[in-house]
Amino acid sequence: MKNLKLRITQFEKRPYRFTEVLDRSIVEAFEDLPSLTEDIKVNGVVELAGKTVIAKADIHSAYQTQCVRCLAPIDGKLDIPNFQVVLQIEKEDTIDLTENIREDIILALSPRFLCKDTCKGLCPHCGKNLNKAKCTCKNSEQDNGPWKILDGFKL
Ligand SMILES: [Zn+2]
Ligand SMILES: [Zn+2]
């Protein structure tokens, strides 16, 4: 489904538990944001206290992105255990949690991802993935260092 709507009558007397699957397309892929590879499972409970709706849920999906240093593909699990929304209602028949869920997912996907904390990235000179192999650029850097220059002066 594309919207997570709940009818007030479902939870006006007692807390209501729900499990819904939201279409992953509610989170549009845009630049730099990992794309979701699974639909979004939402397990929650919603209750009414006076005119206040309190919805709590845990949200699960999966994403695909690439390491910001070495560009290796990353497949990860998305888990948001403490989703919570508090709404004031007046005369509505339904509440819609879709926008809040979308915002929390975007927030959770926003950090820049590394394949591992110790990722060495790509060599800025030759573009080689330094996690997989050393390149020879380091050596040539040393070769061009001050000692090499001194070597050039044949005294
Ligand atoms: Zn990496
Ligand atoms: Zn290199």
Ligand minimally distant from the alpha carbon of residue 133: 2
pLDDT tens across 110-123, in order?
888 999 999 999 99
Q: How far is the CA of 141 from the centre of ligand 2 (A)?
A: 10
Q: What is the pLDDT of residues 10-64, one digit of tens each?
A: 999 999 999 999 999 999 877 678 999 999 999 999 999 999 999 999 999 999 9
Instruction: Copy the structure tokens of residue 85.
Output: 């929304």
In whole angstroms, give the CA distance from residue 16 to residue 18.
Answer: 7
Q: Which two tokens stand for residue 24?
A: 């992953």
Please tell me the chain's helix, strand, coil percentages from 3-state DSSP, rounded to the nearest 5: 20, 35, 40
CA of 137 to the centre of ligand 2 (A): 4
Q: How far is the CA of 83 from the centre of ligand 1 (A)?
A: 30
Of the ligands numbered here, which is closest to the C-alpha atom of 68? 1
pLDDT at 141 over 60: no
Closest ligand to Cα 138: 2
pLDDT tens-digit readout, 47-58: 999 999 999 999
Which pLDDT belongs to residue 151?
Answer: 52
Ligand 1 is a single-atom ion; what residues have CB below 5 A from it? 67, 69-70, 72, 115, 119
Provide the pLDDT for residue 69.
Answer: 94
pLDDT higher than threshold 80 for residue 147 = no
Q: What are the extents of the domains in the chain? A: 5-119, 120-155
Q: Which residues pair with 41 in a beta bridge?
A: 21, 60
133 with 109: CB under 8 angstroms? no
Please give the model's pTM, rounded to 2 decimal places.
0.79
